[in-house]
Amino acid sequence: MKPLDVIRRAFANAFRSRLRTTLTVVAIVIGAFTLTLTNAIGAGVNSFVDDTVASLGVDDVMTVMRANPQADAGSGPARYDPDQVQAGGGGFLGATAALTDADLDTIAATEGVQSVRPMLSASLDYVQHESSDRFQLTVRQMIPGMHVELAAGEQLTLDGQDAQLILPSSYVDPLGFADDDAAIGATVTLALTDATGTQVTTTATVVGVAEPGLVAGTAAVPNEALLQTLSDLQAVGRPASVPAAHVAAMAWFDAGAGTEATQALQDSLAGEGFTATTLTDQLGAFTSVIDTIVLILNGFAIIALVAASIGIVNTLFMAVQERTREVGLMKAMGLSSAKVFSLFSVEAVVIGLLGSAIGVVLAFATGEVVQAALSGSILADLPGLQLVLLEPGTVALVVVGVMAIAFLAGTLPALRAAKQDPISSLRYE
């Protein structure tokens, strides 16, 4: 019997008892369906988180701020220090001691820091388009390597000379634009108050409209030319005796050096009186929670597959029992024990293939239905989230994994069939 004959015979034998085989396949379908769907949900959520992370920062940049030992110790409000420069406060960084140019030099001299740049900031009074109402607006700095999820338009030209702005989608209608596309190329007016208390304005071109996201969804993103202009305007009239102060600094480091090297760098900066936070520090717990939930759900799927494998063992043991005389006749006609073993093993793999394939197809169909049903309701505020994301590699892994489990489950019945004595088998009734 050739290998192709073994496969063809295994397919035919698998459904000699249709009801029993169908029930076994259904059990495998449940396991494969659950395993595929939970992995697809995990992949979809993690993909969304990765896109969100890409709009917050990059892996090789730390946010460095002046440490506040009193606040860190939880000893209540920090005491006033007349020699300490404050950084304006507010925003996602909160009120904090400012960094001076001397602090930037200290950070740059720390071993492991490749380069340092101050984080620019500006506090806007309002944004306005032509004769529209005026609305409050905050801005956040974009680091090279970051990208913003866009509903329309394109990313900023960070090193461009023209003032550019990515506008949050929530401002499109209030500023009088018909839709997101209508805002692209428009000029908006930005107003702020300088150090003398005088309100000044500047203009910027809208090059993109940002999708609302999990975080920072209402902050506009300027390019460096615009942010520098805003920062300079806000500093007009500042007394010469008041030193330049920065809310925080961006420190580039070698992210590929490993976690120990990164921790050593953070410890060195802490020794100089700074706190350094990586992107992983900010979102590590969030992604860990997602991975843990997916792992738990996968645990339930594996339990279902174990139960299904017991069904395969039972199905094949009964098949060996029913085909005892048939096995004896095949061995009497010269079929080797190895061929008998492969015949029943392939039969188990066929059952696993059918169950996993049907489970994957059902998971895909369920994902499409769930995505369509939720996109207009609870997912409406999370544009860009593909809740169920089937990755080809994961799908292939599930199918191959289930087939491997089926093969292992069929090993015992196949060995029993292979070891049967042909004479005793022919006498079996």
Q: For the segment 259-307, what is each residue's pLDDT rounded down to a tens digit? A: 888 889 989 998 888 888 887 776 666 666 767 777 777 777 677 777 7
Contact 135, 154 (CB under 8 A): no
13: pLDDT strictly greater than 90: no
**pLDDT surpassing 80 at residue 349:** yes
Q: Three-state DSSP class for 298? A: helix
Residue owning tokens 């940002």: 210
The beta strands (E) that lie in 44-198 are given as 61-66, 113-119, 124-128, 138-139, 150-153, 164-168, 187-193
Q: Can you give the pLDDT at residue 243?
A: 63
Q: What DSSP character marks residue 175?
A: T
What 3-state class would DSSP assign to 145? coil
Q: How many CA atoms lie within 13 A of 347 on its CB side?
A: 30
Indicate if the pLDDT at residue 161 is higher than 60. Answer: yes
Write out pLDDT tens, residues 378-392.
666 666 677 778 888
Residues 190 and 175: their CA atoms lie apart, in Å, by 12
Burial of 71 (C-beta count, 10 Å sphere; 0-12/13-18/19+): middle
Residue 90 confidence class, pLDDT cut points 50, 70, 90? very low
Q: What is the pTM of this model?
A: 0.56
Question: What is the average pLDDT across 173-199?
Answer: 91
Provide the token pair at 274: 């700074």
Give the residue from 170, 172, 201, 200 showing the smallest Cα distance to 186: 172
Residues 6+ positions from 378 with CB-CB distance below 8 Å: none
- Beta carbons of 305 and 27 less than 8 angstroms apart: no
User: Are 428 and 328 within 8 A, CB to CB?
Assistant: yes
Spatial separation of the C-alpha atoms in residues 273 and 185, rounded to whole Å: 45
The answer to whether residue 98 scores a pLDDT higher than 60 is yes
Is the pLDDT assigned to residue 94 strictly greater than 50? no
Query: With 80 as the cut, is the pLDDT of residue 320 above it?
Result: no
CA distance 71 to 77: 7
CA dist., res. 325 & res. 338, Å (int): 17
CA–CA distance, 429 with 418 (Å, rounded to integer): 19
Dig out the tokens for 345 from the structure: 């093993």
Nearest to 274 by CA among 109, 44, 90: 109
**Which tokens belong to 420?**
């049967």
Closest of 167, 145, 178 to residue 211, by C-alpha: 167
DSSP reduced 3-state for 211: coil
For residue 135, pLDDT over 80 is answered with yes
d(CA 324, CA 320): 6
Q: 310-336 burial string, b = 16+ CB within 10 Å, else e?
A: ebbbebbbebbeebbeebbebbeeeee
Whole-number Å distance between alpha carbons of 253 and 256: 9
Burial class, 113, CB count within 10 angstroms (exposed 0-12 / middle 13-18 / buried 19+): buried
Q: Cβ(359)–Cβ(30) under 8 Å?
A: yes
Q: Which of 139, 116, 145, 117 is nearest to 57 (CA)?
A: 145
What is the chain's mean pLDDT, rounded? 79
